[in-house]
Amino acid sequence: MHTDFVELFTVQRQKYLLKTEALFVARQQQWFDAFSEHFQTVCTEIVKLQNESSLPVISRIEYTMLYTHLTNRRYVAEVWVYGDELYLDRSQRMVGNFDISFLFVYFSELWDKLLSARKRYVGRISAQEVASLMIQTLPDFYLYLANTAIFARQLP
């Protein structure tokens, strides 16, 4: 990949992470409330499924974002439940989705900016290479969901 484009990506990535941090600080209570409400809904669904005997006792709830969703620019975290055997558990099940597009506003803007900037590198930077860079930076942005969950849990 062209060195100038990687440098542009690095600078812009940092800029958009700082924008996301500012958004997180400005809207943290809204984000915490949204997560808490969603988590309560998921727990209610789990209890309903367990009362219907279609879901055994669970040991873990996981919010995960699939790369296929990301590459389609669909910012949704799937909510999965697992028993004691985690990923080997035959009764693992998806129990919901959480729209996390509010966390990925600047991620999406960064992606658009990079797609636009690649036009200056005709034939040297493909859209797939931009997608690869975005996948590499996903954990940096997804960390805001983890922090939202951690801080929302600490609410009274």
32: its two tokens: 């915490």
pLDDT on residue 131: 93
- Distance (Å, rounded) from C-alpha 109 to C-alpha 107? 5
- Distance (Å, rounded) from C-alpha 101 to C-alpha 103? 5
The answer, yes or no, to whether residue 67 has pLDDT greater than 90, is no
Going from N- to C-terminal start, the domains of the chain cover: 3-153
- Distance (Å, rounded) from C-alpha 94 to C-alpha 76? 13
pTM: predicted TM-score of the whole model, two decimal places = 0.83
pLDDT on residue 85: 72
Name the burial class of residue 85, with classes exposed (0-12), middle (13-18) and buried (19+) by CB atoms within 10 angstroms of its CB: exposed
Q: How confident is the model at residue 58 (pLDDT cuts 50, 70, 90)?
A: confident
pLDDT on residue 87: 65
